[in-house]
Structures are given as C-alpha cells and as structure tokens.
Amino acid sequence: MTVHTTQQATPEGSPALVRPLVFGVLNVTPDSFSDGGRFLDPDAAIARGLELSAQGADVIDVGGETTRPGAARTDAGEEADRVVPVIRELAARGIRVSIDTMRASTAAAALEAGATIVNDVSGGLADPGIVPVAANAQVPFVAMHWRGHSDTMTSRAIYDDVVADVRRELGARVEALLAAGLDPAKLVLDPGLGFAKDADHNWQLLGRMTELQSLGFPLLIGASRKRFLGALLPDGAPVEQRDLGTAVVSALSATSGAWAVRVHDVASTVAALDVAAAWRRGAEATR
C-alpha cells in the first residue's frame, strides 16, 4: 500500500469526492481515556471494529496499550495478546487494519496477523527495532512527534515556538527513519496533539498545519475527544460530548490537506468530511 487519499462515491453516483482516510480508533485496553474497558473482550472488540467499518472507517486502528497522560506501560506479551486475535479476525473479513504500538514485537505479530499499517506514537524512538519491521514489510509507517512516555510527557510541554519546534523535531525523525531504511513513500507524520502539548500548542499546530506539510510528507491528525476540545465546552464535558468538535477539526483538517484523521466516532466525522468535500467541489466547479 502506498500513501494516498481515498475516494468516496456519492449515493447518487456523481463524481467521487476525495477526502482524507478515516482511522477508526479501537482501544483493546482497560484504561484508555475515552473507552477503556468497553472493548477489552475480543468479541466486543471485533464487533466494534465491524461497526466502525460499516460507518465508513477506511482503517481500523487497533491498540492494546493506553497512551493517556500519566499511564504506565503495558507488558509486551499482554499487549500482543489483546490485539492479535482482533486484528486477525478483522483482516480475515477484508478490513484494513493499523496496529497502534510502540513495540517492534507487537508490530511484527500484528503484521503477521494481517495489519497493513504501523502507527507508532513514539515515531520509532521507544523501540528502534520497530522501524526495520515496518521497512521490511513495506507498509506505511505513521511517525508521531513524541518527547517521552505518558508518565513524563506533561512536564515536557515546553517550546519556544511549538510549530517550529515540532517541525524541526519531526524533521530529525524523518532523517533517522529514512537512514534506517524506511521507504519515504511509506512515511506519514503526526504532530502529536495532546502529547507533551497543552491546549494552545494543539491549536497552533492545527492552525499552522501548512508549516508541517512543508516537510513533504502526508499528515495524520489525531484530535479525537482530547482534552483541549473538552475545554471549549462547559465544565470540560464528558469525552462522548466532544465528537462534534472532533468532526469540525476533521473537516478543517481536510480543508488544510490532511492525509488522514483518527477518530472514535466515525459516523460524525465521515459526514463532516463529505460536507467539506462537497464544499470544495462546489468551489472548484467550472462556471
């Protein structure tokens, strides 16, 4: 698979609308910030993955280790035991699956089970062995901006200019990843919203996305249900009430040229992306 946008035909059969890929979040964990525990059972996780796919997700992003602020690491064997049965079943049903992991061993097991994308929130820093795993498999590798594990990342949210600093640090990761053998045509970058970032940092990264795109690689945006969206609502709002804000961010990210968005509520984001695509089509129509 090469890195590209997806096309979605309208029900009326009119010309296809180009939109970012939608990664549907599937947390096979007991403690993720949004839906921890709901899909820890493999049957429940598989059913949720099928539901997300039916709602329009292009990729189901399966993770077995929470990365919420303050979280401790999950045992490597436990992480693999959580995700592999789910990935195997979803892939067997023809669903494109991404593995959300920082570990080479988990990535290798997931690829063996049928995953076709590696999504590493550490960008290869937590376990450098993950890079040759992805490179040898010739699958897309999503490298997020990362400054440290969940238990320390809040203290690392210090920047002179967050966009310039993130761009520089991602650029350094690009050089290291390519030197390690990763195909540049398979590399995707993620600015890491909420990871060693406060609310203002997140909004600046979104509002100045073109500066990150100047690195020359596709961008994945993962804003779904995060705290900075909740801060816009009364009393922060429960995570499930942040889906409208997430959908708006998804639509604006599409307008800014994002390659993909990663979300918990697929239906609302797909609807928002279809509206944004129709808007662009109208703007580009020949009068």
Residue (of 62, 114, 116, 117) closest to 88 by Cα position: 114
What would the 3-class secondary structure string for the chain be? Answer: CCCCCEEECCCCCCCCEEECEEEEEEECCCCCCCCCCCCCCHHHHHHHHHHHHHCCCCEEEEECCCCCCCCCCCCHHHHHHHHHHHHHHHHHCCCCEEEECCCHHHHHHHHHHCCCEEEECCCCCCCCCHHHHHHHHCCCEEEECCCCCCCCHHHHCCCCCHHHHHHHHHHHHHHHHHHCCCCHHHEEEECCCCCCCCHHHHHHHHHCHHHHHCCCCCEEECCCCCHHHHCCCHHHCCHHHHHHHHHHHHHHHHHCCCCEEEECCHHHHHHHHHHHHHHHHHHHCCC
Q: Of the residues 262, 280, 281, 287, which is catalytic?
A: 262
Pairing of strands 141-144, 187-190: parallel
Active site residue: 82, 96, 197, 226, which one? Answer: 226
Assess whether 262 carries a catalytic annotation. yes
Quick check: is 168 catalytic? no
Cβ distance 8 to 16 under 8 Å? yes
Phi, psi of 32 (to 5 degrees): -70, 150
User: Which active-site residues does the annotation give?
Assistant: 226, 262
